Amino acid sequence: MKPKKDVNRMKRNQKIKLIATFAFLLFVFIAAAGSVIALPGYSGADDVNECGSCHITQGTLTLASNSTSLNATTGEAFVLDIDAGNGAKWITVLSAWANNSAFEVSTRAVEDDSTNDADGAAGAISAAITFTPLSPGNLTIRVWTAAGGQLSTSLDIVVNVTGQTVTTYTPPPDNTSELLEIWRIMIIALPVSTGVILLILGFTVFKRRN
């Protein structure tokens, strides 16, 4: 028969191991959930902030268009060739900027070396973006380019649009990405929570037996 001190020491060591295991599982769950929920700096085409609120506008990046002033008619598409360089990582035409929401845009964000980038060099983007005016007026298209760190610059293109307002169908929002995020969280949460429950049950049984 083992001495009482040895038995107590074994019980204490087992409790410490159980507590340490529980703390580790809890830490893994919190870290994993945080990494799933965290979003990148660019949040997509619905972002209402211009790049100047996150990036400090500086003159090192280049941004140009084949036209900075033109005439157009509602419902009739036109193409702007946008070129960015000197380390550019993105060209964006987000709907909340200037009068961008008054145009239907073929692509609102082009990343360097993506399929929509016609320039194969790193740090240089060339994109042909199609715009379709939806309402008349003297409108401004605002294009931004940004790079790593806090570099960005913008370009305004003035479009004098004539014609009648075009009514467009707005499809319901696509919640696929949100559902995928929930699914990813569940994949992490369920095994960890199950392990924690089993750990608690095992600890309870251990206490009752001792």
What does the angle CA 74 – CA 81 – CA 77 come to, to the nearest 5 degrees? 20
Per-domain boundaries in the chain = 4-38+175-209, 51-162
Strands 151-162 and 56-57 turn out to be parallel
Most confident of 24-28, 111-115, 139-143, 144-148: 139-143
Distance between start and end Cα atoms, the chain: 15
What digits encode the pLDDT tens for the residues 118-152? 988 888 999 999 999 999 999 999 999 888 767 88
- Band of residue 38 on the pLDDT scale cut at 50, 70, 90: very low
Instruction: Say which residue, 57 or 184, is predicted with more confidence.
Output: 184
Mean pLDDT of the chain, nearest integer: 75
Residue 78 has pLDDT above 60, yes or no: yes
Please choose, from the candidates 80, 98, 73, the residue with its C-alpha nearest in 3D space to the C-alpha of residue 166: 73
Most confident of 34-38, 99-103, 188-192: 99-103
Residue 100 has pLDDT above 70, yes or no: yes
CATH class in words for 51-162? mainly beta
Question: What pTM was estimated for this model as a whole?
Answer: 0.56
Place of tokens 């191991």: 17
Lowest-pLDDT range of 9-18, 100-109, 124-133: 9-18
